Amino acid sequence: MSNLEVWDGTISQKDFYVAARTLVERWKQVNPSLPQWTWIPSKSTLMGSSCKEEGYLSLENMFHIDRNEECLIVDSFSEREETDDVATLVHSTSNETHIYDFHIVYSFSYKVPVLYFHGYQSDGQPLSMDEIENDLPPSSSKILRESKWTYMTLGEHPYVRRPWYTLHPCATSDWMKLLLGGTSMKDLDISSYLLSWLSVVGQAIGLRIPLELQQRSVKHPSASCFIINN
């Protein structure tokens, strides 16, 4: 790897694991009261690689509480009036909580991280794309709709093996290159890759990433001013 080479925006699987550890630790320091990122090692290796540190990052049970929505319920079973006994507490309608899970998975074909996520109601019913967009802060929906770097789509989660929402990775190396750009290979702090990556992706899906997550780790101050444009 020559020092004159310009970085192409990608990351190797081994470096992904290192960057993942950095993210886990930094998140714990900055957001101790939120759910934490955990590394889930995969039981079998994809791509036949012998890397022991193969797996993905998981952040689960992020809550979004919607104060306006009422719990919906299906048709009633029978006509007869039933109630529970006096020892049962009967609630008035409570707030509907939406729960989100986020996974960061390494893509072997694009050599970049990919975000997979899904949301569901408190009873487990999955949220549709529209319902998820409703939960997003307006700045995020704007980014998703207008930016040419972020494409939300359904894709098969390579480990869970079910369709999850994902931000398509085809443009990732391009904007990572811009974000940490101008760095020659020897100056690149690859362990902070995911912190920078998440600061961009987080904007698109409404994950509030405090600036402290990035500070002291990225060598180029311009990185924190990065804004996604058309």
Partner 1 sequence: MASSPSPSSPSLNSGSVLQFDRFQSLVDVGFWHRLSSLKLDTLGIDQSPITLVGFFAPHSRAQVSNHLTLLSESLPTAPIDHASSIETNLGNRNRCPVPGILYNTNTLEEFKELDRDNLLQIEANKILEDIRLGKVEEDSTLLLRFLVISYADLKTWSFRYLFAFPALVIDPPATLMSLQPATQMLTAEEAESLSAACNEWRSSSLTAGIPFFIVSINSDSQATLRPLKDWESCQGDQNKLLFGFYDPCHLKTNPGWPLRNFLTFICLRWKLQKVRFFCYRERLGLANLDVSLIGDALISIPTDFTEPQYIPKVVGWERIGNRLALRCISLAESMDPQRLAASAADLNLKLMTWRAVPSLNIDVLQTAKCLLLGVGTLGCQVARTLLGWGVRKLTLVDSGRVSMSNPVRQSLYTFDDCLNGGRLKAEAAARNLKAIFPAMETEGIVMAIPMPGHPIPAQETASVLEDCKHLQALIASHDVVFLLTDTRESRWLPTLFCSHENKILINAALGFDSYLVMRHGAGPNVSTPDNNLECRDDGTAAVLMNELSLKDVGAKRRLGCYFCSDVVAPIDSTSNRTLDQQCTVTRPGLAPIAASLAVELMANILNHPDRIYAPGEIASSITGNSAQPLGLMPHQIRGTISLFSQMTLLGYSSSSCTACSETVLSEFRNRGMDFVLQAINHPTYLEDLTGLTELKQAAGSFELDWDDETDDDAEIQ
Active site residues per annotation: 170
Between 1 and 89, name the residue whose CB sits nearer to partner 1.
Answer: 89
In the complex, what is the shortest distance from the CB of residue 34 to partner 1, in angstroms, rounded to a whole number?
A: 9
119 token code pair: 């949301």
Q: Residue holding tokens 């470096």?
A: 15
Closest CB 162 distance from partner 1, rounded Å? 6
Q: How far is CA 56 from CA 102, 138, 182, in A?
A: 10, 29, 29
Pairing assessment for the beta strands 163-167 and 55-66 based on DSSP bridges: unpaired
What letter does residue 188 receive in the DSSP assignment? -
**Residue ranges binding partner 1 (CB under 8 A):** 32-33, 40, 61, 63, 65, 71, 73-77, 82-93, 97, 120, 122-126, 128, 148, 151, 153-156, 160, 162-163, 168, 170-171
CA atoms in the 13 A half-sphere facing the CB of 187: 12
**Helices in 95-192 by DSSP H: which ranges?**
129-135, 138-146, 172-179
Instruction: Count other C-beta atoms under 10 Å from residue 175's C-beta.
Output: 21
Work out how close the CB of 31 gets to partner 1 at its nearest, in angstroms, rounded to a whole number. Answer: 11
- Quote the least distance from Cβ 115 to partner 1, whole Å: 16
**CB under 8 Å to 28, separation ≥6 — which residues?**
36
Neighbours of 87 (CB within 10 A): 5
Q: How near is the Cβ of 18 to partner 1 at its closest, in Å? A: 22
Q: Which is nearer to partner 1, 151 or 226 (CB)?
A: 151
Q: For residue 114, give the 3-state DSSP assignment.
A: strand
The side-by-side arrangement of strands in the sheet containing 96-107 is 38-41, 55-66, 96-107, 112-121, 163-167, 152-156
